[in-house]
Amino acid sequence: MTADSAPLYEHPDRNLALELVRATEAAAIRAQPFIGKGDKNAADGAAVDAMRKFLGTVDFDGVIVIGEGEKDEAPMLFNGEHVGTGRGPACDIAVDPIDGTSLTAAGRQNAISMLAASDRGTMLDASSVFYMNKIVTDADGIGVIDIDRPIGDNIRALAKAKGKDVGDIRVAVLDRPRHQQLIEDIRAAGAGTRLMLDGDVAGGINAARYGTRIDMCVGTGGSPEGVATACAIKALGGFIQTRLAPKDDDERQKGIDAGLDMDKLYEADDLVSGDNTFFVATGVTDGGLVAGVKRLGPIIRTESIVLRSHSGTIRRIEADHLVEKWL
Binding-site sequence positions: 44, 68, 96, 99-101, 131, 176-178, 198-200, 222, 225
| Distance, CA of 148 to CA of 247 (rounded, Å) | 19
Neighbours of 188 (CB within 10 A): 11
Which residues contribute to the annotated binding site for substrate?
Answer: 99-101, 131, 176-178, 198-200, 222
| Distance, CA of 249 to CA of 265 (rounded, Å) | 19
Which residues contribute to the annotated binding site for Mn(2+)?
Answer: 44, 68, 96, 99, 225
| Distance, CA of 327 to CA of 319 (rounded, Å) | 17
Q: Report whether 135 contacts 217 (CB < 8 A).
A: yes
Contacts 24+ apart (CB under 8 A), 251-256: 251/128, 251/129, 251/130, 252/129, 254/128, 254/129, 255/126, 255/128, 255/129
| Distance, CA of 233 to CA of 269 (rounded, Å) | 10
| Distance, CA of 39 to CA of 121 (rounded, Å) | 36
End-to-end CA distance of the chain: 47
